[in-house]
Amino acid sequence: MIHTCGHKIPDSDSIVAAIAMAYLQNKLGNEAKAVRQGDINPESQYILDKFNLQAPELMTSFSGKDMYLVDFNNYTEAPEDLKDANIIGIVDHHKLGGLVTAGPLDCWIRAVGCTNTIVKEMFDYYEVEIPADIAGAMMCAILSDTVIFKSPTCTKVDTKITKELAAIANIEDFKAIGMEMFKVKSQVEGVPTRELVLRDFKNFEMHGTKVGIGQLEVVDLSIFDDIKDDLIADIEALREETSCDTVLLLLTDIIAMGSQILVATKSLNEIENAWDIKVQNDQFWLKGCLSRKKQVVPFLEPQFKK
């Protein structure tokens, strides 16, 4: 049995790619099951409900199991016992993260905006038809990861494949669904602060320095006006609890196209040097910043080189 599984703190790309990949593997005659390492976020729940799909099963231990990794390829986002699992394949769109495997494997890694873009290419390669419900969910995952094509991570391949998936799913106005999705994402009222901080959170090891970066993508930053102080206090608490050097929270405005970045750090100079900015009241505005992967991590990481 192949377990198709996305990263810790799964996002919509991880959830949907696990589902699509399990479907594809079963069609290819390889028994497979979609699983997830954590809770379903509100956006992913919206997608599952919209296309009547079942959530992947929660599973956190994989010792001795066959795994197909989707949307990640590093140990920090992997199950604790990944080293005891058998990785038979990876489909991903991130930088290489240092995995070691016991045997040869299938690798589908491309510099595109979303794992589901590559999964669609796999369906085409193997000449397997995608059911309409799965196609619709894959389309949503691409719209999410590429911020409705606005992110610098978005490529021509992503836009082309989104349109193909929309056609399979019989959806005309896919951008409207994208906006609906981001409105679901923008609901923060009444949600505990820590839950917001960790909703889309990744840990990084930058030349031996522990850095955590969360991101909330919304349609209007004013929703944070009343809770911004709480968020700042919480990332400072989280930084201490997890012995991180730095915890950042990106409040990304997908309409204004930029991020208000909240900062908890022991390395203020490094943060300010990374973007040549000044941090004031534990925050700064980064114009044009939509992508943690392309516009945050590559600027911060070199600052910690010893």
Which residues contact Mg ion by CB under 5 A? 11, 13, 71, 115, 145
- Looking at beta carbons only, is 13 or 234 nearer to Mg ion? 13
Return the structure tokens found at 55. 């959530």
Residue 125 tokens read as 């390669």
Please identify, using beta-carbon distances, which residue of 213 and 244 lies nearer to Mg ion. 213
Instruction: State in angstroms the smallest separation of the CB of 96 from Mg ion.
Output: 15
- DSSP structural state of residue 12: H
In whole angstroms, how close is the CB of 151 to Mg ion at the nearest point? 8
For residue 213, the SS3 value is strand
Q: How would you class 52 by CB atoms within 10 Å of its CB: exposed for 0-12, middle for 13-18, buried for 19 or more?
A: exposed
Cα angle 179, 263, 254; round to 5: 15
> Which residue lies nearer to Mg ion by CB, 15 or 171?
15
Contact 249, 197 (CB under 8 A): yes
Q: Which residue is at the shortest CB distance from Mg ion? A: 13
Rank residues 44 and 267 by Cβ distance to Mg ion and give the closer one. 44
SS3 of 107, please?
Answer: strand
Least gap, CB of 223 to Mg ion (angstroms): 18
For residue 189, the minimal CB distance to Mg ion (Å) is 22
For the bound state, the minimum distance from the C-beta of residue 209 to Mg ion, rounded and expressed in Å, comes to 22
Instruction: In angstroms, give the least distance from the CB of 11 to Mg ion.
Output: 4
Quote the CA–CA distance of 288 and 260 in Å, as a whole number: 10
Residue number, 135 or 270, with CB nearest to Mg ion:
135
* Cβ 19 to Mg ion shortest distance, Å: 14
Q: Which two tokens stand for residue 232?
A: 């700042």
Name the β-bridge partners of 212. 203, 247
DSSP state of 134: H
Cα–Cα nearest to 224, from 213, 212, 215, 236: 215
Strand segments, DSSP code E, in 121-257 are: 201-206, 209-218, 246-253
Q: Which is nearer to Mg ion, 43 or 282 (CB)?
A: 43
Residues 284/263, Cβ–Cβ less than 8 Å: yes
Closest to Mg ion by CB, 9 vs 32, is: 9
What's the rounded Cα separation, in Å, for the pair 200 and 214?
A: 6
